Amino acid sequence: MSKTKWGLAVLCVAGWAGWMAAAPATPQYHLVKKVTLGGEGGWDYLSADPMTHRVFISRGTHIMVVDAEGKVVGDIPNVDGTHGAALVPELGRGFSSNGRSNSVTIFDLKTMATIKEVKLQADGPDGFLYDPATKRVFTFNARSKDASAIDASTGEVLGNVALGGKPEAAQSDGAGHVWVNIEDKAQLAEFDAKALKVLNTSPLPGCEEPTGMAIDVSRKRLFIGCHSKVMLVAGYDGKVVGSVPIGEGVDAANFDPATKLAFASCGDGTITVAHEDTPGKFTVVQTISTQRGARTMTLDTKNHNIYTVTSDFNPPPAPTAENPRPRPVPIPSTFTLLIYGR
C-alpha cells in the first residue's frame, strides 16, 4: 500500500471511530424490579419527586407513597376521587386533585400529613400542574371545562380560566405559559398562568383524544399522546412538527431533559421511547414491553427510572345507560409496580 493510501486509510478509521464515540447507541430500558403492592382502588397519575426519589401513586381514595425500590413508605388518606398530585419540592408540599369532592388536598411531602383541603369552584378536577413562574398549582377540571389556579404558598383559590372543552394533561414552560390538551376537541390550548387568559387554541390534526403531554423546554417542544396511536410533536405555537407511532390506549407522556428521550405509556402494555435526531426528525429507539393495563407512568429525572403500575383484571360488568363501556375490574391483590431503568 502506498503512503498516500495508507494515510487515507488511517484517516477513515479515525473518522469512523470518532463518529462512533460521538453517536453511541441509545442504552435500552429493561425491567429492574416488579413489586406487588396490592390494596384497594384503581389508579391514575403517578408523580415522582426527584429530590427524595419517592413515587406518589393515586388509588382513588388515597395516595400510596413508595421509595425508589418500590417499598411503601407512607399513605395519604381522605383524597376523594384523587387523580394524582402535583409535587412542589421547593415548598415541601403536594397537591392532590380530588375529582369526586371537587377539592385539592395540600399535604406535607416529608411527613405526608394533610395541611388543608381547599374547595374549588369547579367540577371534576383531573389533571394538575405546578407553574414555578407564578408559584401556582392548576387543576384541569373535566366537567366544568376549565382550569383552577391556587396559590401554592397560601392555598388560596385565585380564579378559573375557561378552556372551551374537556382538559387533560398540561405542561408549563416555567416562564408563565401553560399548554393543555383539550381531549374532546382534539385541540391544544395555551394560556397565561398569571392573567388566566387563553392566548391560543390550535387543532391537532390526526390526533384522537389527546391525553398525556410532556415538554422539552430547551427545544420548545410539546409531546402529545393521542388515542389514534401516535405521539405528535408540536412547537409552542401549536404547529405540529413531527410524530412517531405508539401503542393503543395512551394515558401519559414524559420527557427526560438529560437524555432527550420522550416516552408514551399505553394500556396495551407498551412504552414507546423516541428521540429527536435532527430538528423535525423523530425516531422510535425502543418499545418497552410492560404489562396490559400499564397505561400511565412517571419518570424520575434524577435516576432516570420509569415507574408504571397495573394489575390483573376480572371481566368488566354489564353495560348500563350510565356506563355503556365499563372497564375490566382490577383484582386488588394483584396491583403491581413496574420499575424500568437503563
Query: Quick one: average pLDDT of 308-327?
Result: 90
What does the pLDDT read at residue 27? 85
Same-domain check for residues 214 and 69: yes
Nearest to 165 by CA among 178, 189, 182, 149: 182
What does the pLDDT read at residue 25? 67
What does the pLDDT read at residue 66? 98
Q: How far apart are CA 123 and CA 54, in angstroms?
A: 29
Whether 88 is covered by a domain: the verdict is yes
Q: How far apart are CA 281 and CA 287, in angstroms?
A: 18
Same-domain check for residues 287 and 187: no
What does the pLDDT read at residue 106? 98
What's the first-to-final CA gap in the chain, in angstroms? 44
User: Has residue 187 got a pLDDT over 80?
Assistant: yes
Contacts of 17 (CB under 8 A, 6+ apart): none
Same-domain check for residues 163 and 312: no
Percent of the chain with pLDDT over 90: 84
User: Has residue 17 got a pLDDT over 60?
Assistant: no
The residue type found at 157 is V
Contacts of 20 (CB under 8 A, 6+ apart): none
Percent of the chain with pLDDT over 70: 93
Same-domain check for residues 142 and 178: yes
Same-domain check for residues 165 and 276: no
Query: Quick one: average pLDDT of 87-91?
Result: 97
What does the pLDDT read at residue 79? 98
Whether 6 is covered by a domain: the verdict is no
What does the pLDDT read at residue 284? 97
β-partners of residue 160 are: 148
**Digit-coded pLDDT (tens) for 49-81:** 999 999 999 999 999 999 999 999 999 999 999
Of 20 and 307, more confident: 307
**Digit-coded pLDDT (tens) for 234-249:** 999 999 999 999 999 9
**Digit-coded pLDDT (tens) for 271-283:** 999 998 887 889 9
Same-domain check for residues 230 and 129: no
Whether 11 is covered by a domain: the verdict is no
What does the pLDDT read at residue 278? 83
Same-domain check for residues 220 and 315: yes
Report the half-sphere exposure of 200 (CA within 13 A, side-chain side).
13
**Digit-coded pLDDT (tens) for 124-168:** 999 999 999 999 999 999 999 999 999 999 999 999 999 999 999
User: Has residue 19 got a pLDDT over 80?
Assistant: no
Same-domain check for residues 136 and 229: no
Query: Quick one: average pLDDT of 103-117?
Result: 97
Nearest to 327 by CA among 318, 336, 335: 318
User: Has residue 99 got a pLDDT over 80?
Assistant: yes
CATH code: domain of residue 124: 2.130.10.10
What does the pLDDT read at residue 7? 43
Nearest to 145 by CA among 126, 128, 167: 167
Confidence of residue 10 (pLDDT cuts 50, 70, 90): very low
Whether 22 is covered by a domain: the verdict is no
Do 147 and 126 form a contact (C-beta atoms < 8 A)? no
The three-class DSSP label of residue 97 is strand
What does the pLDDT read at residue 57? 98
The number of domains in the chain is 2
Same-domain check for residues 163 and 264: no
Domain containing 134 equals 78-203
What does the pLDDT read at residue 3? 42
